[in-house]
A and B are shown apart, each in its own frame.
Chain A
Amino acid sequence: MPEGWRLAGVESAISDEAVKDEFTSLTLTSRTRLRLVGGIRSRAGNNYFHFAPPSVSLSGGTPNTEVYWGGLALSQSGDSRLFTLTGELPTESKISLEARDGEAVDRLSLFLTGDFSVTQMEPGFFLGPTGTGASFGKDEPSVAGAYVSGAGDGTFTTTAEMFEDFAYEMGGVQGFLIGQRPGQIATWPREAFPTDWIPVWAIKKQGRKLTAIFTGEFLGTTQPENPSFTPTRGEVQDWKKVIWHQRKRITPPRDQCQRAIWLLLQDSARNV
């Protein structure tokens, strides 16, 4: 800082009595003025989103000056001369504000933009495989948010990937994989993930406790079911043993719909 200079900060000017005669440019305006502060503009001018309205600032005037909207005095925030727009504010119509000190001394109006449609929206921009909008070929995959186009059909690149994730989901515990038809059972992880039938349920075994879990994401990732699947007698007995004979040890799914499906399966196993 140059020698002899001093640095000072001023929060706000409350009076110009000491300077107004000598420095006319520092004279405070005697006019009472309303101004919008903050808020998020929906477009140019005094247009704001209804979910982020501005506050109203009052300068000039006397301590008795108040701000009104539709006949109601707005509440002042703290000691400042900031007023908050509260209550059910109308959207898409003019909101007229008035500063009053006995009579109206300033007016201001604003608009609040109402809700807007986000449905049936088409992507306006696509990212290429590098993750940038830089030019990419028609045949290359493209991404807009969570939309991915031009990718393969499957979620898993290899079955090894699927096994790895499934093993993680099972949390390293033993259990059974169960299909809809009698005999569709595999002991996890001793037996391989089935390739000729679709495991719909995973039965997790923790101590004596068993839990039935819908296979969810893994359901549609196996090969189509082999229609000529023929189980052995032992497989049918094992399937019934787990689903029906151990039914009291199995905690059904939490989801009501899945629970109903699980109970139907239990019931069908009873008559096998």
Chain B
Amino acid sequence: MYDNGDILLFALSAWRQTSWRQFKQCFDELERKSAGTADYAPTETATSHRWRALHELSAMGHIDLEFEPGNIQVHIAPPVLAALPGLGSPKAVLCGARSPNFMEELRAESQSAGVEALVESQSAASPYAPTRVELRAGDAAWIKSVADNVGAGYVETTPARLLAQVSISLPEYRQKLSWSSDRELNWHCEDFDTERLQFSAPSETRPDQRLSRYRNPRTTVWHYRLWQSNQSAEVDLDWGRYAILAATGQRVLQYAPENRDALVPLGAPLPTLLARAFGLCRGCCPTIAEEVQSNPRGRYLRFNSVPPSVFNNVAAKLDQAIRHTK
């Protein structure tokens, strides 16, 4: 009846604020249902699937994540029709909270207002992506009228562009870091490999500039530190990866101009707002691009319909020069 992605988003919408434990229970129940067996047990990859689902929902503007010590809270965003960039009829995509009745009302209101509603399942792109709803009208005022009638917001100024503008840049992020000369922790440690884009055991000769992670032996939570000579600073993982990639001159973002696809390596996900800037260019779930020519770094995540200026802004924020794919 409903896709798993819809059920997940309905539940998060009803709860409004969801703890990691509650999210995990809900997610695992949907996995169990998909597996079609009552005694389903989560596999080792379940954690990465849960995180992928959260990152996708965040990139599509449905949720915001709050990281607390020892916990994560998932906050549902208010329902909004967010304008999409481009020529032609004004277009907007539904982001944030939804319920089964709300979806029906949105369809009915669109129909009576003469607004075209494109409703498409995204389960082929990702098992936990909710149905995409795009409204198209001859005039933006009609979309606003639909939004008003269903009690949702309407953001007419393209959020994709605004997000790329308001996000902090890598140099600004580095300035905010608190550097210390403390000695290295003696916890289990791994270094980020900027070629393979994954963490692995430290090599014998460790570079002066590196991103390392340390596992707290009591809580098993990873802590990330960016090293520069003998100084280090605690960093957010997503920013930390791009900081070390920029410091070592690695360019990993790619752009395919002919179909305006932005390609982001799975091993180096974008910081939240920049991923959302790409995600809200079309409001659809990014897909995994299995084969990218001249790609030395494994699989990439493909964001559709990204205008060149949005890509350039995001790349500039991360000190990543454009790499065009063929």
Contact = CB atoms under 8 A, between A and B. Distances in A.
A and B from one complex: yes
Interface of A: 37-42, 49-52, 55, 57, 80, 82, 113, 115-127, 129-133, 141, 143-148, 150-157, 161-162, 164-166, 168-170, 202, 213-218, 253, 255-258, 261
Contacts of A113: 14
B166 A168 contact: no
8 contacts: A40-B29, A115-B102, A118-B13, A121-B16, A123-B78, A125-B64, A153-B157, A202-B87
Contact of A145 (B62, B239, B308): B62
Nearest to A257: B138
A117 B138 contact: no
Interface residues of B, number: 88
Q: Give the one of A51, A57, A113 with max B CB within 10 A.
A: A51
Contacts of A121: 16, 76, 78-79, 96-97
A116 B14 contact: yes
Contact of A213 (B88, B90, B136, B163): B88
B297 interface: no
Contacts of A42: 11, 14
A155 B236 contact: no
B309 to A, nearest CB: 4
A217 B80 contact: no
Contacts of B32: 38
Given A51-B2, A145-B61, A124 B75 contact: yes
B161 A129 contact: no
Contact of A127 (B137, B273, B307): B273
A254 to B, nearest CB: 8
Given A148-B162, A155-B158, A202-B87, A133 B67 contact: yes
Contact of B157 (A130, A155, A168): A155
Contact of A146 (B6, B82, B98): B82
A129 B163 CA distance: 9
B64 A145 contact: yes
Contact of A253 (B1, B63, B89, B271): B89
Contacts of B236: 130, 132
A40 B168 contact: no
A75 B215 CA distance: 50
A216 B90 contact: yes
| SS class, residues of chain B in contact with chain A | mixed
Nearest to B104: A115
B309 A165 contact: yes
Interface stretch (B46-54, B146-154, B199-207, B220-228): B146-154
A258 B138 contact: yes
Given A132-B236, A213-B88, A115 B101 contact: yes
B124 interface: no
Given A37-B38, A132-B272, 8 more contacts: A38-B32, A119-B152, A129-B273, A146-B82, A157-B165, A168-B260, A214-B89, A216-B88
B257 to A, nearest CB: 7
A115 B273 contact: no
Contact of A148 (B25, B76, B155, B271): B155
Interface in B20-72: 25-26, 29-30, 32-33, 38, 61-64, 66-67
A52 B61 contact: no
A131 B11 contact: no
A123 B153 CA distance: 11
A257 B137 contact: yes
B307 A119 contact: no
A155 B161 contact: yes
Nearest to A160: B309
B85 interface: yes
A106 to B, nearest CB: 19
Contacts of B238: 131
Nearest to A254: B89
Contact of A52 (B11, B96, B239, B260): B11
B173 A130 contact: yes
